[in-house]
Amino acid sequence: MTLHRSSDPDWDDVFDALADDKRRRLFLALWQRGPDAGMVPLRDIPALSTEHDRLELRHVHLPMLEEMGYVRWDRDRGAVGRGPRYEEVLPAVEWFHERRSLDRTV
């Protein structure tokens, strides 16, 4: 029998948050900037370079991620940062980063 610790991530939430490529690119960009980066303007995230990407992010993805607690979103400044639950997605984000690096070398 495996006990579920209260500090364990809710894996359903983690996988929901990472299910979309734009959200994965956002998490990777926040991870690459490091924990002390603070709020990052959306226009400074290269993986979200088109207006269509940023529009979809603002109307679909950021509200969901903010409600889940994975990101902080300053709508007025158009900036995003790590939320109080961001650490829960880190193992998966690091795996995606490693996987993308491996894919480039093959």
Residues of the chain under the 70 pLDDT cut: 1-7, 47, 100-106
Q: What confidence score (pLDDT) does residue 105 get?
A: 43
Q: What confidence score (pLDDT) does residue 2 get?
A: 42
Strand (E) or helix (H) holding 81: strand 79-82
CA pair distance 7, 35, nearest whole angstrom: 20
Q: What confidence score (pLDDT) does residue 7 get?
A: 63
**In the chain, where the domains are located:** 11-105
Return the amino acid letter for 57. L
Q: What is the CATH number of domain 11-105?
A: 1.10.10.10
> For the whole model, what pTM was predicted?
0.80
